[in-house]
Amino acid sequence: MAYVYSCDCGYVVRGESAEEFVADMEAHIEQAHPDMVGKLAREDMLAFGEEQ
């Protein structure tokens, strides 16, 4: 199942699986929102994603 989330900054986080989605979100957070690194658990990240 694919996951998608549109970040407020305009970036679209995508993943064909939960693992890919979380990896993309972690990479995006590190690059664009370094103040948020370590503040979201895996479950929190998945809660942002819309299943498609």
**pLDDT tens sequence across 4-36:** 999 999 999 999 999 999 999 999 999 999 999
The mean pLDDT value for 30-51 works out to: 97
* pLDDT at residue 51 in the model: 94
Helix (H, G, I), strand (E, B) or coil at 49: coil
41 — pLDDT class (breaks 50, 70, 90): very high
Cα–chain center distance at 34? 14
Q: pTM for this one?
A: 0.92
Q: Are 6 and 28 in contact (CB under 8 A)?
A: no
Q: Are 5 and 49 in contact (CB under 8 A)?
A: yes
Q: Where in the sequence is the domain holding 35, given as residue range(s)?
A: 3-51
Q: Quote the tokens at residue 37.
A: 């690194």
Place of tokens 């370094």: 34
Q: Which helix (H) or strand (E) segment is 35 a member of?
A: none
* pLDDT at residue 16 in the model: 98
- Domain total for the chain? 1
* pLDDT at residue 29 in the model: 98
